[in-house]
Amino acid sequence: MSVVGQEEGIDHGSVRGYRQHRYRKIAATEECGCLKAIRDHQRASKPVPERSQRQREWYGGQFVTAASGSQPGRPILPPGDCPVDDCGQEAAGRSKQRRGWVRAHVHGSTMPPRAFCSGACAAVGIALAELRMTSPAAG
């Protein structure tokens, strides 16, 4: 005899109970405790990497915790901390652009054109250049 659709015999409040709900095609609820049990199990099985001191300083202590869901798949560096040599250096005197690099210049900024290793670094450079505008941009 099949147990599909039968509520009795489910070990409520545990991961096993959650799996029994799934097998029997009965929705798990907050009241039975199975949803909380599976969330706690998932958090425990995927520990959150500890944030570096520089990340805490950059975000002012306000950063993502394990309870919020997904975590980044790569290390997040604060702006200006790119480990690539020459990222963010002036590009005005260079005769040749490096392959795959982004040259960024903001018209009206006191900052000269600069070369960045990626679009993410270039976005930070553009934002800094916009903060150093001498006149409002014509739009």
Q: Which tens digit of pLDDT belongs to each residue from 108-129?
A: 888 889 888 888 888 888 998 8
**What is the pLDDT, as a whole number, of residue 60?**
62
**What is the pLDDT, as a whole number, of residue 16?**
93
**What is the pLDDT, as a whole number, of residue 135?**
63
Mean pLDDT computed over 8-13: 90
Predicted TM-score of the model (pTM): 0.41
Contact 60, 51 (CB under 8 A): no
* Chain segment 31-82, per-residue pLDDT in tens: 999 999 998 898 888 766 666 777 666 666 555 554 455 555 566 666 667 8
